[in-house]
């Protein structure tokens, strides 16, 4: 991607990224996810062609650099101080949630934890870019995003605590059950958006997945469906460079994951995944566009999985400490903190208050997960069908009898 | 010379020995390369045989399976790993419509000598989608050979046999056994295979496995006279414990380890049931429309006049595999097996 504009804003047609829903090609027709006239090529004086409109920026969008300095971008204004402060609060809580969950694994209170340490900016932005009535479709790695959207932390961790497959009501905060089978949830997100559209609701759906998951067939089917039905879905890929041990260059040889969007007829954009401000700006724009009827978009965040895939994984088998160390200075918390301090928005008192808030959440997690919970064996048979089959009634009775004899 | 070996290491050794013996064997899947697989079954293979023989693919099970079909059509012997039981489902279409049917559709002209390795079943406190017993889906699909070793020796032997088998084999590895250990005379085992350096890439000339192949043959894991416990895979160890407990109570139970679900060894099973006159089938999968159901039906059809009691099943409940804290309620236990044995209409009862 040499020769593309860097930090100082983007001018080339190919760097338009996605704008609001008013973007037009030279025929004056709004681009509506349908294929534009393929004979129209991006010429120097031409208005933007469909292709150019759909291609991602030459470089990942960055609004605050690792040193905490603002980088100007014509297309993406910096979110205001209040929005950034709100996000910073969630970042600090998110980091604390990751640390606490790791500790709970070591103490045997959680079976396993796929940490999003280093990816907290993506986690927080994916929850904050939508409203209470919008849906989030998370994966196993998105615990922090789920909590940031309002779900109780202890309920969120039920899955990993091993009491049940999920501990929260998806309708309460419009957060679907965390998906483990990769990319499958993206199609469910498309379905929720389609139903909302048919019902005349202006819901937007943010669907999360990792870089590895983009290789699954379901990823491609989901993008195509969303584009063909012109649905308000923002596909948000956290490219953390690894699918367990497999690095991105074994996953794809495309110029970027965001480039995959154009093949389905939707805009793609890439963004610095450790830059909360850029994430809020880019996702915010995609969400607004989707809400206004502009159709789906694909956003790729460039970030890094700072820890092992889960505690059960040993990342030293496939990557070097040096590589990990390179990402440490790009930490999402450090840079937003520096920027907010510089702005004088983040005061000492506020920092203390935020740290206190994070501690409260951590304490809540410890209390909730250290408490001995009772599992009810009758639950095994309760939710398989609306009405228990006679076979299930028989099996439940058998287990009840067994247990009563055991306790006798 | 006898050494102690884990189930996982036996599988790893079998893969390495087959790759050494036959240049047409290639191993691929998710994380099977430099990492050596999430269970380390392919540990060291990339390092030893190179990236062309053992490699990571993009993350797509249908892609892995479909590509394996093409490679098998073109003279190679792919051994693919599905990372976990439930993550093999995206490949189901390729397995059912093509792996299983290709030889039939082409009147035997296209053979698919490939192995689909699947770490399967529960008992490890795994979260959802990591503990499914999926054998019935495969066993129900004509054209698939389906095996599940339950001992370290079988892990080694059956994987080598599966790789040499002329037809596609679904190779189910009970993941709770991966770290179980046994004493093994590896050199003696290896010597049964000879050391020909095969190169079948120019002509698919399958060499036979040793004549006494375990594919299609059940084994009597414990001899007994009063009743037959029929089982396979992850349940074998539980059933062996049940038989030992029953012996203390004066009941002599024979244990059959099916190990080859398809083809099914009617002869060994029926001979045992005719001898004992009673049988219980034990399996971890939900019982409804399952491999266990099939075994019961076959026994009932063939041994009716020898039976003193209906053939019973102890299986998982007909529910999705439960969360870790509930799995002990679900899994067939020693007590549940002994309860079933007690119900076999004993005269002294
Ligand atoms: C269909 C399917 N296949 C395999 C797996 C096993 N698995 C779990 S996570 C993972 C890697 C996913 O990588 P990526 O999509 O980049 O997400 P990340 O874990 O990095 O967040 C794999 C292979 C799975 N969960 N689902
Ligand atoms: Mg990843």
Pick from B90, B127, B317: which is nearest to A217 by CB? B90
Rounded distance between C-alpha atoms, residue B27 and residue B127, angstroms: 27
| CA angle in degrees (0–180, nearest 5) for A92-A95-A96 | 85
pTM: 0.93
pLDDT score of A65: 98
Q: Which residue, by CA, sits nearest to atom 11 of ligand 1?
A: A243
- The closest alpha carbon to B23, from B65, B57, B52, B66, belongs to B52
Q: Does B52 touch chain A (CB under 8 A)?
A: no
Q: What is the mean pLDDT of residues A193-204?
A: 98
Q: Which stretch of A17-31, A265-279, B203-217, B253-267 has the lowest confidence by average pLDDT?
A: A17-31
Distance from CA of A241 to the nearest CA of B (A): 13
**Residues in chain B, overall count:** 349
CB of B244 shorter than 6 A to ligand 1: no
CB of A131 shorter than 6 A to ligand 1: no
Question: pLDDT by residue (tens digit) across A154-187?
Answer: 999 999 999 999 999 999 999 999 999 999 999 9
Cross-chain Cβ contact B318/A384 below 8 Å: yes
Phi-psi region of B268 (alpha: psi -120 to 50; beta: other; left: phi over 0): alpha
DSSP state letter for B85: G
CA A403 from centre of chain: 43
Q: Does B67 touch chain A (CB under 8 A)?
A: no
Q: Does B30 touch chain A (CB under 8 A)?
A: yes
Q: Which residue, by CA, sits nearest to atom 3 of ligand 1?
A: B87
**Which atom of ligand 1 lies closest to the CA of A211?**
16
Question: Has residue A35 got a pLDDT over 80?
Answer: no
Comparing alpha-carbon positions, the chain B residue that sits nearest to A400 is B329
The rounded percent of chain A whose pLDDT value lies above 90 is 86
Q: What is the mean pLDDT of residues A96-116?
A: 97
CB of B63 shorter than 6 A to ligand 1: no
Q: What is the mean pLDDT of residues A241-255?
A: 98
Question: pLDDT by residue (tens digit) across A128-137?
Answer: 999 999 999 9
Q: Which stretch of A38-52, A65-79, A267-281 has the lowest confidence by average pLDDT?
A: A38-52
Q: Which three-class secondary structure string do you get for B175-214?
A: HHHCCCEEEEEHHHHHHCCCCCCECHHHCCCCCCCCCCCC
Interface of B with A in 171-230 (CB under 8 A): none
Distance from CA of A42 to the nearest CA of B (A): 33
Helix segments in B95-250, DSSP class H: 102-105, 135-139, 152-164, 186-191, 236-248
Q: How far is the CA of B62 from the centre of ligand 1 (A)?
A: 14
Half-sphere exposure of B17 (CA within 13 A, CB side): 24
- The one-digit pLDDT tens for each residue of chain B (349 residues) are 799 999 999 999 999 999 999 999 999 999 999 999 999 999 999 999 999 999 999 999 999 999 999 999 999 999 999 999 999 999 999 999 999 999 999 999 999 999 999 999 999 999 999 999 999 999 999 999 999 999 999 999 999 999 999 999 999 999 999 999 999 999 999 988 876 556 555 544 555 566 789 999 999 999 999 999 999 999 999 999 999 999 999 999 999 999 999 999 999 999 999 999 999 999 999 999 999 999 999 999 999 999 999 999 999 999 999 999 999 999 999 999 999 999 999 986 5
Q: How far is the CA of B64 from the centre of ligand 1 (A)?
A: 15
- The closest alpha carbon to A232, from A151, A131, A154, A160, belongs to A131
Rounded distance between C-alpha atoms, residue A290 and residue A21, angstroms: 8
Comparing alpha-carbon positions, the chain A residue that sits nearest to B84 is A181
Cross-chain Cβ contact A245/B322 below 8 Å: no
- Does residue A75 contact residue A269 with C-beta atoms inside 8 Å? no
Q: Does B62 touch chain A (CB under 8 A)?
A: yes
Domains with residue ranges and CATH for chain B:
3-193 (3.40.50.970), 219-348 (3.40.50.920)
- Does residue A305 contact residue A36 with C-beta atoms inside 8 Å? no
Pick from A215, A380, A391: which is nearest to B60 by CB? A215
Rounded distance between C-alpha atoms, residue B17 and residue A14, angstroms: 53
pLDDT score of A40: 40
CB of A239 shorter than 6 A to ligand 1: no
- Does residue A237 contact residue A298 with C-beta atoms inside 8 Å? yes
Which H/E stretch holds residue A280? Answer: helix A276-291
Q: Is the ipTM above a cut-off of 0.90? A: yes
Q: How many A/B residue pairs have CB atoms within 8 Å?
A: 108
Pick from B38, B56, B87: which is nearest to A181 by CB? B87
- The closest alpha carbon to B215, from B183, B169, B254, B180, belongs to B169
pLDDT score of B72: 98
Question: Has residue A118 got a pLDDT over 50?
Answer: yes
Q: Please identify, in words, the CATH class of the domain defined by A81-370.
A: alpha beta
Cross-chain Cβ contact A217/B63 below 8 Å: yes
């Amino acid at each position: 991607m040499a020769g593309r504009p860097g930090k100082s804003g983007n001018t080339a047609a190919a760097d338009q990224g996605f704008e609001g829903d008013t973007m037009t090609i030279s025929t004056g027709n709004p681009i509506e996810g349908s294929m534009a006239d393929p004979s129209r090529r991006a010429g120097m004086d031409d208005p933007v062609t469909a292709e150019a409109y759909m291609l991602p920026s030459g470089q990942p969008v960055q609004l605050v650099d690792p040193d905490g300095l603002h980088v100007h971008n014509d297309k993406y204004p910096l979110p205001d101080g209040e929005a950034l402060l709100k996000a910073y609060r969630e970042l600090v809580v998110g980091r604390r949630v990751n640390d606490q969950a790791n500790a709970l694994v070591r103490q045997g209170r959680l079976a396993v934890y796929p940490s999003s340490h280093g990816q907290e900016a993506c986690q927080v932005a994916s929850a904050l870019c939508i409203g209470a009535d919008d849906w989030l479709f998370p994966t196993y790695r998105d615990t922090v995003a789920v909590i940031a959207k309002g779900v109780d932390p202890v309920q969120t961790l039920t899955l990993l605590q091993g009491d049940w497959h999920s501990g929260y009501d998806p309708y309460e905060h419009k957060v679907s059950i965390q998906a483990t089978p990769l990319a499958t949830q993206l199609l469910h997100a498309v379905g929720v958006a389609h139903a909302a559209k048919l019902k005349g609701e202006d819901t937007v759906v943010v669907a999360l997945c990792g870089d590895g998951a983009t290789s699954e067939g379901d990823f491609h089917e989901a993008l195509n469906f969303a584009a063909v039905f012109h649905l308000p879905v923002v596909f948000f890929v956290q490219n953390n460079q690894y699918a367990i041990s497999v690095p991105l260059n074994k996953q794809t040889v495309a110029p970027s994951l965001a480039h995959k969007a154009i093949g389905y007829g939707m805009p793609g954009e890439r963004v610095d995944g450790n830059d909360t401000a850029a994430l809020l700006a880019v996702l915010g724009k995609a969400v607004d566009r989707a809400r206004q009827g502009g159709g789906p978009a694909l956003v790729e965040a460039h970030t890094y999985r700072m820890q092992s895939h889960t505690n059960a994984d040993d990342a030293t088998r496939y990557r070097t400490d040096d590589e990990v160390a390179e990402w440490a200075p790009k930490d999402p918390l450090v840079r937003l903190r520096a920027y907010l301090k510089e702005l004088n928005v983040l005061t000492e008192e506020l920092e203390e208050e935020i740290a206190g808030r994070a501690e409260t959440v951590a304490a809540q997690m410890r209390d909730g997960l250290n408490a001995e919970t009772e599992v009810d064996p009758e639950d095994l048979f309760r939710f398989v069908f609306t009405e228990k089959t006679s076979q299930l009634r028989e099996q439940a009775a058998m287990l009840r009898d067994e247990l009563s004899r055991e306790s006798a | 010379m006898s050494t102690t070996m884990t189930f996982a290491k036996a599988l790893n050794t079998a893969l390495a020995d087959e790759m050494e013996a036959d240049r047409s064997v290639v191993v691929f899947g998710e994380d099977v390369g430099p990492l050596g697989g999430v269970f380390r079954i392919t540990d060291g293979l990339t390092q030893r045989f190179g990236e062309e023989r053992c490699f990571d693919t993009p993350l797509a099970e249908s892609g892995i399976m479909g590509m394996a079909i093409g490679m098998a059509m073109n003279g190679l012997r792919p051994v693919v790993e599905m990372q976990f039981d439930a993550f093999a489902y995206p490949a189901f279409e390729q397995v059912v419509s093509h792996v299983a049917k290709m030889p039939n559709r082409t009147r035997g002209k296209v053979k698919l000598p490939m192995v689909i390795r699947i770490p399967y079943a529960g008992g490890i406190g795994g979260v959802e989608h990591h503990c499914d017993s999926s054998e019935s889906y495969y066993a129900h699909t004509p054209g698939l050979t389906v095996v599940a070793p339950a001992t370290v020796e079988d892990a080694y032997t059956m994987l080598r046999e599966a790789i040499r088998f002329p037809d596609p084999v679904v190779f189910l590895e009970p993941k709770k056994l991966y770290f179980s250990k046994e004493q093994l005379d590896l050199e003696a085992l290896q010597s049964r295979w000879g050391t020909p350096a095969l190169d079948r890439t120019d002509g698919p000339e399958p060499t036979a496995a040793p004549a006494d192949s375990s594919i299609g043959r059940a084994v009597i894991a414990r001899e007994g006279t009063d009743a037959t416990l029929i089982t396979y895979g992850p349940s074998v160890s539980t059933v062996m414990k049940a038989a030992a407990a029953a012996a203390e109570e004066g009941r002599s139970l024979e244990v059959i380890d099916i190990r080859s679900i398809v083809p099914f060894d009617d002869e060994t099973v029926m001979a045992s049931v005719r001898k004992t006159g009673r049988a219980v089938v034990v399996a971890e999968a939900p019982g409804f429309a399952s491999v266990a159901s099939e075994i019961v039906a076959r026994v009932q059809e063939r041994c009716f006049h020898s039976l003193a009691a209906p053939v019973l099943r102890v299986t998982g409940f007909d529910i999705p595999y439960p969360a870790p804290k509930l799995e002990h309620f679900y899994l067939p236990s020693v007590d549940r097996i002994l309860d079933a044995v007690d119900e076999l209409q004993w005269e002294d009862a």
